[in-house]
Amino acid sequence: MGFIKPAWASENGKRALKAVEKETTQTILAEIAKNAPLSHTRKNALDKLTDQVILADIAKNAPLSHTRKNALDKLTDQVILADIAKNDKESGIRKVAVAKLTDQAVLTDLAENATSIDMKMEAAEKLENKIIAYNVFKDIAENPKAWGKLRITATEKLTDQILVQKILIDIAKKSYGNADNWGYAALEKLSGEEIIADVAKEAIDNDISDKAIKKLVNENILQNVFVHIANNNKKTNERRVAMVEKINNKDIGQQIIADIIINATSNAVYIPIDKLTNESALTNVANNSKIDFIRIKACEKIGHIYEGECFCTRCGKEEHYFENDKCLHCGAVICHEEVEVPYCSGCAYDMSSSGASGMMTGTCTGGCNTIEVKTYIEYTDGRKKQIK
């Protein structure tokens, strides 16, 4: 004979409810409340439960959240409610449990020691001891790991306005606008050009920074903000260039653009060589960029040409024109000169290091009489290149 399903497990609502009406055993009612297939069957069984231990088990372990919340509504045991408020995995369940707490000792313990910050807040709001509550609110407001909304709500409980301002600045600077609009909310609570300028300079989120910039009216402060962001190498090159375009002093802007280009180590990032027009800045790039094609581009923008027969100690390029000892390919400064060295082809004696006087007399000190002259380009780094 197969297993006969109990009446309360029936899909027939009337039959299931009739079974619940007849049931009085608390443990069976608990099983119905947790496992009946129909929601109204579970609810009716739960309504008949009074045992706090059984209700606690349902509140902690029932498979469905709304069943757990319904059990919580019937719980009054403060110790059990505190345990759920501290340790339940669902924030909604924890919040319901805190709302039912009245024992001040339990609430104090929860406010000071709960691992969940939102539970600390909920408990602190119910404390009669305002000094303890104030300290909890202060800890939450100053906690950089807390959700922005909780931090701002906590600041509203504080009386130290200097501290409040410091916390709001921190929230505005460290919030990401798209993911947490509480950075915007913090900014809206701030006033004073210098304070807002500080947020504009240091906000990690560009949207929050831009909103702060729009609040500024003092042109000197605005220019200072633009220069500060443009010089911040933690920002993307695109962001830095966007700020450069707002700087009134174009020489400063060009210097910053040159710095961006020189510090680029890969062409995988945006390199704003097209934005560079100042010859001094271009020369700086030609001398110091770590990327070959950027140095070449800088030289081309200056108008340098390639001709002659020279060798650059920086870029290794030959057949580039040098002017005033500067390679017009990459901008490298180099000293070089042509030197003539006597050489005996008979005995292969190079007289350049002999220190002999009268090297051009045609007499080989090694006993031969076959003297030639080799012509070299001699560089300041010690290398020589024979050209004749």
Assigned domain for 10 exists: no
Nearest to 58 by CA among 70, 41, 40, 44: 70
Instruction: Write out the H or E segment, with its range, that includes residue 230.
Output: helix 219-230
- Main-chain dihedrals φ then ψ at residue 152, nearest 5 degrees: -65, -40
Residues 291-327 have pLDDT tens digits of: 877 877 887 777 654 333 444 545 555 544 445 555 5
Same domain, 328 and 343: no
Residue 325, CA distances (Å) to 49, 319, 380 in order: 97, 14, 11
Residues of the chain predicted below pLDDT 70: 1-3, 177-180, 303-388
| DSSP per-residue codes, 37-72 | SSHHHHHHHHHT---HHHHHHHHHH-SSHHHHHHHH
Same domain, 329 and 341: no
Same domain, 227 and 292: yes
Phi-psi region of 73 (alpha: psi -120 to 50; beta: other; left: phi over 0): alpha
Residues 16-46 have pLDDT tens digits of: 889 888 888 989 988 888 888 888 888 898 8
Same domain, 229 and 244: yes
Question: What local confidence, expressed as pLDDT, does residue 346 receive?
Answer: 62
pLDDT above 90 coverage of the chain, percent: 44
Assigned domain for 110 exists: no
Burial 286-324 (b: 16+ CB within 10 A, else e): bbbbebeebbbbbbebeebebeeebbbeebebeebebee
Residue 384, CA distances (Å) to 10, 300, 328 in order: 101, 28, 20
Same domain, 240 and 284: yes
- CB pairs under 8 A, 24+ apart, for 15-21? 16/41, 17/41, 17/44, 20/44, 20/45, 20/48
Question: What local confidence, expressed as pLDDT, does residue 383 receive?
Answer: 54
Question: What local confidence, expressed as pLDDT, does residue 35 receive?
Answer: 87
Question: What local confidence, expressed as pLDDT, does residue 371 receive?
Answer: 61
Same domain, 350 and 275: no
Assigned domain for 342 exists: yes
Residues 191-225 have pLDDT tens digits of: 999 999 999 999 999 999 999 999 999 999 999 99
Same domain, 309 and 297: no
Assigned domain for 386 exists: yes
Considering Cα of 83, then 84, then 88, then 92, what sign does the dihedral take? negative
Same domain, 259 and 313: no
Residue numbers of the domain that contains 287? 218-301
Assigned domain for 109 exists: no
Assigned domain for 100 exists: no
Q: Would you state the structure tokens that stand for residue 42, as one six-digit string?
A: 């579970």
Question: What local confidence, expressed as pLDDT, does residue 328 receive?
Answer: 55
| pTM confidence score | 0.68
Assigned domain for 309 exists: yes
> Hey, is 112 helix, strand or coil?
helix
Same domain, 237 and 262: yes
Instruction: Write out the H or E segment, with its range, that includes residue 336.
Output: strand 336-344
Domain count for the chain: 3
Assigned domain for 362 exists: yes
> Hey, is 311 helix, strand or coil?
strand
Beta bridge partners of 338: 377
